[in-house]
Structures are given as C-alpha cells and as structure tokens.
Amino acid sequence: MVALSININKIALLRNSRSGNFPDLLHYARQCIAYGADGITVHPRPDQRHIRADDIPALKSMLENFPAVEFNIEGNPFTTQCGSYPGFMALVEQSRPTQCTLVPDSDAQLTSDHGFDLKRDAGRLRPVVAQLQAWGCRVSLFMDPDCEQISLAKSIGADRIELYTGPYAEACLHGDVSSINTELQKHAVASSHASALGLGVNAGHDLNLDNLPALVNALPDLSEVSIGHALTVDALYHGLAPTITAYKKTLSS
C-alpha cells in the first residue's frame, strides 16, 4: 500500500494567526497517527510563516514514541540562517528525520512549483546528499517527470525522488482529459524509469481524493504521497478521522 505522509504546515499556519499554541501541532500530529497516518511531513521556510524552527525538536521527540511513523522534513538545503531560523541543514542535523525531501524553492515562493534542474545543481547537491545520508536520513529529491533529470538524481546518490504532480493536478482541476492523460503518461514513464534505476518513488503537490485514484493506478511503483492542503480542507468539511480513512482507502485500492 502507498504510504500517506500528512503535511501539517497548514495547521501551523492557523496556529500562527493568533498568539498561543492553538491548535496544538503535537496533538494534531498524534491524532493523524491515531487515524492511520504513516508519516508526518513539515516544510520549514526561513520566514517561518507556518512550521517554525522551534517546532522541529518537539515533533521529533513526540514521534520517537511512534517508531513506525516516519518524520519527513522538506526544504531547500541551501537556505541559511535567518533570525531564529538556523538554516535547513542545521535543522536536519539537530533532528535527524527519517527522510529529507530536498526542494528547490526560493524564499519568495508561495509554494513549491518545480523540480530540481540537476544539469545545473548536481555538483552542489552531491555533497549535501552524502551529508544527509551520513546523518541517517533517506534523501528524496523533488523532481519533474523528466527521465534525463531522474537519471542525474540517481548519479548524485539520491535514495528516492518525489514527482512534482502540480501540472497533473491542474489538468484534473480543469477537467482537461487530454492533458490529464498526457501528465499521467509522463509520470508513469518517469516512475518506471526511476524504479528501474533503483530509486524509490514518492509523489506530491495538490493531490486530493479526486485526482489520487488515477495517479495511484498509473504508478505501480509509488511508495509514498505527501498531502497537506487538500487533506486539511477535507477535514474541515468531513472531520479528520473520516478524511484520513478516505485517503488511506484510496491509496490501498
């Protein structure tokens, strides 16, 4: 079955809109785990608009009580210290998550919107990958469904890729059948290529209950999806437990 890692950034964003600690991230993460989450994902950014640096140690400590649940930290490995944000690599060194998903986002981006260009960035990413692995982290690179780029991900030592599913989700949103089929085919070819190279395959970005079934069916090698925004919105309408149950059912079908 495909693992479900729940991104809790949106809960942190809600908390940050007021003083205090409500909603409580640790309580929410524990509830996600109780209802079936296989992992907890966070994406700390230098502006700390949602997950903050001081959330990471508390989450890590809490997750030690759930050894089967993976902790996934996403982010740009080249972000440096900014105020109370110590830089991505410093955060990871302190917390040693199960998985690091490296993403080429800039400080100004609202959300991640493209994969790495490894023709440009392979040289500086290679030692980063090695360092993260030395700290005991599995390394996944956020990638477009491009086989040439995925081959480069393998060549610099990555353990997995996370396929950027934004264009596929956008096609689904507009009901563009031709574009949906094109995007699914690109992701299927990329996933098969990654698997043949020995890379694990994750996927993420704007995935939801409507577009997940076709993607899961098209990617038999898929190991994990990371979902936050849509799952959080669905939980507002339907409740957290039924929502996680629905996602888990979709991923197991």
Domain boundaries, the chain: 3-252
Catalytic residue annotation: 43, 74, 205
Q: Measured at the alpha carbon of residue 43, what is the angle toward residues 68 and 4, in degrees to the nearest 5?
A: 35
What are 113's two structure tokens?
């919107």
Q: Of 89, 84, 18, 19, nearest to 55 (Cα)?
A: 84
pLDDT of residue 194: 98
User: In the 8-state DSSP scheme, what is residue 108?
Assistant: T
In the CATH scheme, what architecture does the domain 3-252 have?
Answer: Alpha-Beta Barrel (3.20)
Indicate the residue type of 87: G
Q: What are phi and psi of 194, to 5 degrees?
A: -60, -45
Residue with tokens 């950034």: 9
Cβ proximity of 228 and 7 under 8 Å: yes
Q: Dihedral of CA 57/46/15/18: which sign?
A: positive
Q: Dihedral of CA 161/167/172/178: which sign?
A: negative
Residue 129 neighbours by CB under 8 Å, 6+ apart:
102, 139, 156, 157, 158
Average pLDDT of adjacent 10-residue blocks, the chain of 253 residues: 97 95 97 98 94 96 97 96 92 97 76 84 97 98 97 98 97 95 98 98 97 98 97 98 98 89
CA distance 9 to 46: 14
pLDDT of residue 192: 98
Q: What are phi and psi of 4, to 5 degrees?
A: -110, 110
Residue 50 neighbours by CB under 8 Å, 6+ apart:
9, 10, 12, 13, 16, 43
pLDDT of residue 109: 52
Q: Within 13 Å of residue 3, how many CA atoms lie on the same side as its CB?
A: 19
Q: What are phi and psi of 118, to 5 degrees?
A: -80, -10
What are 222's two structure tokens?
């898929």
